[in-house]
Amino acid sequence: MIKLLVNGLVLVMNTLYKTRPYPRFYVLETVARVPYFAYLSVLHLYESVGLWRKADWLKIHFAESWNELHHLLIMEELGGKDRWLDRVLARTTAVIYYWIIVAIYLLSPRAAYHFMELVEEHAYHTYNEFLKAHAAELKAQPAPAVAISYYRDGDLYMFDEFQTGRAPESRRPKIDNLYDVFVAIRDDEREHVKTMVACQVPATANQLHSPHAPTLPDNLQPGHAGSDA
């Protein structure tokens, strides 16, 4: 069921957007945020009725959605949302996926995180292939302003917050051109995969914390470079 959902989305994207990468990424990034919205909604519900308190997880998932928002803003700046049909497709898919993920999360948070692990893994490979195929032309183009602000010159607290496998400030992408931007986006997707894997660890053994939490596990202590595994 989970694999079917992901493969269905991938098939539609591959068929409709073979020759238009930015609209393709625009749709991908619009849909990519939705599971995080779904997790946040259900966690808020559980917290409201007193079932769970997972304040760190709310913070992390919001930071993940904030990261995907910046991927989306970058695609918009590159012209990805210029056609109304692409916007309609992206938003319709997003609404449908939102409710599907809410239902899955209510039944099994682990399955919902596994779904997102697969989506993020697909995103990583999609950007990796794109980088390999278009390296020269991407290196010749400037980085969008929103990317420079998010990755380099702005307040990077939220950028550090979504990377639960790293110490804050251990990753600072070089952003000199559009190629660097896509490298940063691709590497973000890998960080999302790691967090989604960590979220599937059974509750009794789960050590997932905000990277800015006052009590950090050893691998996230300041000075530790973080893991690339």
User: Phi/psi of residue 63, each to 5°?
Assistant: -65, -35
Q: Rounded to the nearest whole angstrom, what is the least distance from the CB of residue 36 to Fe ion in the complex?
A: 9
Q: Which is nearer to Fe ion, 36 or 105 (by Cβ)?
A: 36
Distance between the two ends of the chain, CA-based, in angstroms?
28
Q: Locate 136 and state its tokens.
A: 């020269």
| Smallest gap from residue 218 Cβ to Fe ion (A) | 27
Length of the chain: 229
Q: Name the minimum Å distance from CB 223 to Fe ion.
A: 28
The binding site for Fe ion (CB under 5 A) comprises 29, 32, 68, 71, 120, 123, 189, 192
Closer of 25 and 105 to Fe ion (Cβ) = 25
The Cα diameter of the chain in Å comes to: 54
Q: Which is nearer to Fe ion, 29 or 161 (CB)?
A: 29
Burial of 140 (0-12, 13-18, 19+ CB in 10 A): exposed
- CB 188 to Fe ion: min, Å: 6
Give the residue with the Cβ less far from Fe ion, 160 or 189: 189
Ranked by CB distance to Fe ion, the top (closest) residue is: 71
CB of 202 to Fe ion, least distance (A): 24
Please report which residue ranges of 49-177 form alpha helices under DSSP H: 55-77, 84-107, 109-133, 135-139, 145-148, 157-161
Question: What is the Cα–Cα distance from 88 to 94, expressed in whole angstroms?
Answer: 10
Whether the CB-CB separation of 81 and 75 falls below 8 Å is answered with yes
- Residue 219, classed as helix, strand or coil, is helix
Quote the least distance from Cβ 57 to Fe ion, whole Å. Answer: 17
Residue 73 or 156 with smaller CB distance to Fe ion: 73
Interatomic CA distance for residues 177 and 192, integer angstroms: 23
Comparison of 29 and 76: residue with beta carbon closer to Fe ion: 29
Written in H, E and C, the secondary structure of 206-218 is CCCCCCCCCCCCH
